[in-house]
Amino acid sequence: MLRDPGYRRALLFCALIGIPVSALAFWFLAALHELEQLVWTDWPKDLGWPHAPWWWPFPAFALAGLVVPLVAGRLPGRGGHVPAAGLHSGGPTRAAIPGVIIAALFSLPLGAVLGPEAPLIALGGGLALVFRDLARAPASPRSTALLGAAGSAAAISAIFGNPLVAGILLMEVAGVGGPQLFAVMLPALLASGIGSVIFSGFGQWTGFKTGSLAVGLPAPPVLDTGDVVWSLLMGLVIGAAVHVLVVGGRYVAVFVSGRLLPHTTLCALAAGGCIALFAVSTGRSPSEAALSGQATLSQLAKDPHAWSVGALVAVLVFKGAAYVLCLGSLRGGPVFPALFLGGAAGALLAPLPGLGLVPAMAAGMAAAATSALRLPVSSVVLVAIMLGHSGSVPVIVLASVISFMAAELLPQGPVLSGRPA
């Protein structure tokens, strides 16, 4: 393939379009961040509150519930994929770009419990085709698929901050290997996780020492027996719980499709009610349960003791319920809310005998992300990179594999189309 001049030209063109696509993706994310800051921090302070009051989610979610169905019903691409259908890379079009942008701008900054990854994938794929047409490059089904995947990968790198995650994610999302990919990958991933425990050791057993790629950075705490055992159970329980949430989102999507405008508005208001109940029951800012949870997850990881057991339970219950409603009604991606829910569950379970905070949150995040995405390799790489060290990789892998198996074996609920009409 590399000897094919046409493929080499396409490869060069992909490298060139990666520059403007990445830049536009950055500014799109910057706009989302500024709007989120404006709605949930600046405006409440300007009106005299230290943080958004408990009722603040209602007008924000009401606006999202009114605009998103109008975009989905009247603009090409329906504002992007329904989040409950998972991440998809196929079918990027230029015509869908305005709808994707508008739906994301009226979902994510207004509090939707979703992340920006799905709009970025659609935006990157569509922009790549725009630049291809501007350059008057020849169009073919092969080049369209290649450029769409390249543009999506360039855009998604902006949110994950790492090209490795973007590349692996798009490879799994595209499903190049089909079912055979998972048939080969899952046992390999499981065996590598167990092998990592054997060589790295845990508790008083130091494992078998072998060659290392370490360059002298500080090592994380050694895993304990409890960390490994609990990670298996967490993979099963958290994976099954997040699967139930995703299936619930699919039923919400079916409900919304019956009468798009009134049902979307109703679900959005219900999601806002969940966020308001969190604020009322805990006295905390509703923004901690709204939005994707990316910033709140970082705060939780830095200071988990700032969250009481009651607050952790409340955020799992109310954010989880809002996640279900947003998955089926608004626009965005399922990744970061799942990561937050898994991390919060890990922090809640960390006091279990023999379980440490870091491996607990790592296993919880891996289990939740894998169950929501059904992309175990991407989830493992993403969580490992987020942690910044390899010490917890064995529990991440084990929790991810168990979670994937649990989610696949449980009832799947209604089937949603992966591509917007």
CA-based nearest residue to 110, from 23, 218, 38, 29? 38
* Predicted pLDDT of residue 215: 37
- Kindly report the CA angle at 373 between 368 and 378, in degrees rounded to 5? 90
pLDDT band for position 34 (cuts 50, 70, 90): very high
Residues 145, 140: Cα–Cα separation, whole Å: 9
pLDDT band for position 394 (cuts 50, 70, 90): confident
Side-chain-facing half-sphere of 93: CA atoms under 13 Å: 15
Contact in structure between 369 and 234 (CB atoms under 8 Å):
no
* Predicted pLDDT of residue 7: 66
| 36-63 mean pLDDT | 95
Residues 368, 195: Cα–Cα separation, whole Å: 23
Side-chain-facing half-sphere of 224: CA atoms under 13 Å: 14
pLDDT band for position 279 (cuts 50, 70, 90): very high
The pair of three-digit structure tokens given for residue 347, joined into one six-digit string? 């922090």
- Is the whole-model pTM more than 0.85? yes
For the cut 70, the answer to whether the pLDDT of residue 358 exceeds it is yes
**Amino acid, res. 173:** V
Residue 178: CB partners within 8 Å, gap ≥ 6? none
- Kindly report the CA angle at 176 between 407 and 341, in degrees rounded to 5? 30
* Predicted pLDDT of residue 130: 82
